[in-house]
Amino acid sequence: MKNILLLLALFIVAFSCNTTSQPKSENTPIIEDVPTSIGIQITDDGVKSSIVVGEMGNTSIWEKYIKAHNDKDLETIASINAIDFKGYPPNGTVIDGSETHISFLKKWFADSNPKWTTRWMIANAATNKDGVEQQWLTTGQELTDSVEGEQITLNHIHDVLFVDGKIKMINVYERAKAIE
């Protein structure tokens, strides 16, 4: 009798742990089709929209771009830049156009030996005010360079806008590497 009661108790416990699922209707959303929101974007007029996972293929373009900078390969850099490239370095200037960017780099490379090391990349996308989805890559870099003969290391964050596989815009944020 004890065995029957024990089996009955185990059966009741096991049966009560089963979950029932509701049948899916035609109107049930498929989760996989909804982009994963990873944050929000706030426009100048206060409108909020989701930031979602972006195109991971842009990471390989960025790696090629950084390698070209480290190799001082201006031809490859120019081929990755959009013609209407805009750069916003941390000193507040604006680099307007791919040709201007190449001239800027040519002078920098002649005067110095900057080297970038990528530490992380986040592919993300957001819809602009015109309803167009923009593909971004946010990256963390270490920049080593020499200023007046002294070796420096800076931490950079780049917000990079990609359009049709080309780099259209880069915002660069900088701080000195912390001394531990």
171 Cβ contact list (under 8 Å, min separation 6) = 88, 158, 159
Give tens-digit pLDDT for 153-175. 999 999 999 999 999 999 999 99
Specify which residues 36 forms β-bridges with.
none
Query: Does residue 105 sit in helix, strand or coil?
Result: helix
Neighbours of 69 (CB within 10 A): 19
Q: Do the domain assignments include residue 5?
A: no
- pLDDT at residue 11 greater than cutoff 60: no
Calpha distance 55→174 (Å, rounded): 25
Q: Do the domain assignments include residue 9?
A: no
Q: Which two tokens stand for residue 167?
A: 């780099």
What is the structure's pLDDT at 98?
Answer: 98
| Concatenated DSSP letters of 20-84 | P-PPP-TTSPPGGGSPPEEEEEE-TT--EEEEEE--THHHHHHHHHHHHHHTT-HHHHHHHEEEE
Q: Which two tokens stand for residue 8?
A: 């009955």
Q: Do the domain assignments include residue 75?
A: yes
What is the structure's pLDDT at 47?
Answer: 86
Give tens-digit pLDDT for 61-98. 999 999 999 999 999 999 999 999 999 999 999 999 99
| Concatenated DSSP letters of 151-178 | EEEEEEEEEEEEETTEEEEEEEEEEEPP
Calpha distance 19→112 (Å, rounded): 66
What is the structure's pLDDT at 21?
Answer: 47
What is the structure's pLDDT at 35?
Answer: 77
What is the structure's pLDDT at 10?
Answer: 46
Q: Do the domain assignments include residue 1?
A: no
Mean pLDDT of 95-105: 98
Q: Do the domain assignments include residue 25?
A: no
Local confidence band at 33 (pLDDT 50, 70, 90 cut-offs): low
CATH number of the CATH domain containing 89: 3.10.450.50
What is the structure's pLDDT at 177?
Answer: 85
Share of the chain above pLDDT 70, in %: 81
Q: Do the domain assignments include residue 8?
A: no
Residue 48 region, left (φ>0) first, then alpha (ψ -120 to 50), else beta? beta
Q: Do the domain assignments include residue 15?
A: no
| Of 80 and 111, the one with more pLDDT | 80
Note down the domain range covering 122.
33-176
Local confidence band at 4 (pLDDT 50, 70, 90 cut-offs): low
Q: Do the domain assignments include residue 95?
A: yes
Q: Which two tokens stand for residue 160?
A: 């990079």
pTM, whole model, 2 decimals? Answer: 0.78
Q: Which two tokens stand for residue 1?
A: 């009798």
- Please report the sign of the dihedral spanned by the C-alpha atoms of residue 19, residue 23, residue 28, residue 31: positive
Domain count, the chain: 1
- pLDDT at residue 139 greater than cutoff 80: yes
